[in-house]
Structure 1
């Protein structure tokens, strides 16, 4: 059955496809936009989105089915990040991965809605893929030929996010040239820009050692389903119970260090036999620098540079030997503490790691607003 959702708002409006928990929407809302439709197939992520931006305009479902049954409302901007696993450096890099084709569903909605502008967000290497080349062909000769494209790889740290996360951003406009946002921050604060934000600016002051390993026991109802939540702030400051061997390994890692700082007897065979690469594995953050990319398994130091930055070379008692918590990861993704989250710990970690940093999304939205 066709469903037509019509907005009644004086603010610029946006539709979020592949919305996840709503990181992109959060940035656009901060910039003054009103979300009027969103699509997300994962129940926990869709519930998080609905908890923050409203359930009535949120569609929980597979976008391939949604585009067959829903007529989307008129909107000023369509935003979204089609799944990127097939493009990711950590993925299979398979151009035929069916997840890489979902951007075509995104274009179907753009073609139907005819927004003034649209934004596609994806991993950095998306801009080097055959799928991206096909997207450019669609802009030249296909369904979005009435749009002028601007694209590039943006570093979130250059827009006030305390994270060195590189993402491909494509902006399409049918109301004249609309370039990418100008950087507001820089590593060396050159050209009058502000210095990069740091890990310290986001997580300093939180309890060093969480007093629980569990989320509160509560549930909420969204889409007629019961999901864990809604959680916020210190609810997400949950720890883990590392093995003694893991704690011993953590204790050898200084800020900015990683697996190469471990003595041979503490290195598993797979690391001893791999003398190069994966330099961020078992890494410790630096207080006075942005973090590296926050991925979906930030709670596992063996997956990246996720150890808490506190480490004193002389005072053994002044070390925090644990991975960052969900709250710390969310802050490094620029989510406010009053943002509501739904799902299990694993589901929340996936939502946090997959999100567009809110500050980067806001910078993009601010630039679009000036053209609108």
Structure 2
């Protein structure tokens, strides 16, 4: 039997990229993740023995295994629309550590994943220069913006993807889905396909009282996916606001008396704030605070225009967000509610990672 190709996941988070590569036929041999809760989630799913719970700057490449592919999404807060766009943010320089590992380990292929804005920043130009005449000049690069919905994810999440190869040019993977399907492209997946059938009213607002010892310390977990279907306790004013928002709507659907002053004084922009999802469309990007409707289009899609009793007036739960990120039903989780939400929102959608992995396999298998 042909040996499965191997993958190293730098900035591994909770393992969204690794999960997709495992589904795509790869064996993970190493992951690096400094955040202890995220590293614990990774360990619960893929094993504790091959994950380094440390900062990538402290990693000595001489001690690392070799792999066919190195993947990673350096932290993106400095590039993000929500991160202040600080060019000097030290987190922006972590891609240099990623290149250091690639230079030393010499994988056949590497993949960089980051926010859409990364492709227009000076750091990205520096990355291209490293490929032209610097430390990775023997790698041929392909890059572009991929829309997750075009690869089977029920989410309109746009990400910069860079593929570097020293086994010949590897283009970006072709879409498998489209908003308007064709003979070769399936229709976009939608919110209904991911969260329909889950209880409209979560039976609890808390995670189970459970702990696990990982990396020498005790952390909340390990939790099953069903444990993540947790609600909140919104105030009456919030419930009144939720009740006014139809599918696809947002803060502009609120009557003046329910608008806070900051919204009344801002007649344009932030159109997805206090938004409600649509059953038959992909969601917008699932971020780390999906449990707060004031942060984006995160209200449950069920809303009947004529029957107030047939409305689900709450934000999506952690489980629903994880499903929209395409985490498998048997995926396990560690951390507090806020820590797990960060893990879900920061992850690479599993189906997007799988599509990239399957694409790379065709080149690695020759």
For the criterion TM > 0.5, the same-fold answer is yes
3-state SS of the aligned residue for 2:59?
helix
3-state SS of the aligned residue for 1:94?
coil
Structure 1 residues 72-120: Cα deviation after superposition (integer angstroms, max 9, x where no partner): 1110000000000000011111111100000000001101110000000
Q: 2:24 & 2:187 partners in 1: Cα distance? A: 22
Q: Does 1:39 align with 2:41?
A: no
- Count of residues paired in the alignment: 363
Q: Does 1:165 align with 2:144?
A: no
Q: Does 1:90 align with 2:89?
A: no
Q: 1:213 & 1:251 partners in 2: Cα distance? A: 20
Equivalent of 2:17, from 5, 21, 24?
24
Give the aligned partner of residue 46 of structure 2.
53
- Please tell me whether the aligned partners of residues 282 and 301 of structure 1 are also in contact (alpha carbons under 8 angstroms): yes
Moved over 4 A (4+): none
- Please state how far the C-alpha of 1:311 moved relative to its aligned partner: 0.1
Q: Does 1:234 align with 2:226?
A: yes
Q: 2:63 & 2:110 partners in 1: Cα distance? A: 17
Q: Does 1:195 align with 2:150?
A: no
**Structure 1, unaligned stretches of length 5 or more?**
1-8
- Please state how far the C-alpha of 1:191 moved relative to its aligned partner: 5.3
3-state SS of the aligned residue for 1:330?
helix
3-state SS of the aligned residue for 2:197?
coil
What is the 5 A alignment of 1:261-340? Answer: 261-340=253-332
- Please state how far the C-alpha of 1:217 moved relative to its aligned partner: 0.5
- Please state how far the C-alpha of 1:190 moved relative to its aligned partner: 3.1
3-state SS of the aligned residue for 2:8?
strand
Q: Does 1:348 align with 2:366?
A: no
- Please tell me whether the aligned partners of residues 162 and 196 of structure 1 are also in contact (alpha carbons under 8 angstroms): yes
- Please tell me whether the aligned partners of residues 148 and 157 of structure 2 are also in contact (alpha carbons under 8 angstroms): yes
Equivalent of 1:66, from 59, 72, 78?
59
Q: 2:170 & 2:219 partners in 1: Cα distance? A: 40
3-state SS of the aligned residue for 1:238?
coil
**Structure 2, unaligned stretches of length 5 or more?**
none
- Please tell me whether the aligned partners of residues 72 and 109 of structure 1 are also in contact (alpha carbons under 8 angstroms): no
Q: 1:31 & 1:269 partners in 2: Cα distance? A: 49
Q: Give the superposed CA RMSD.
A: 0.9
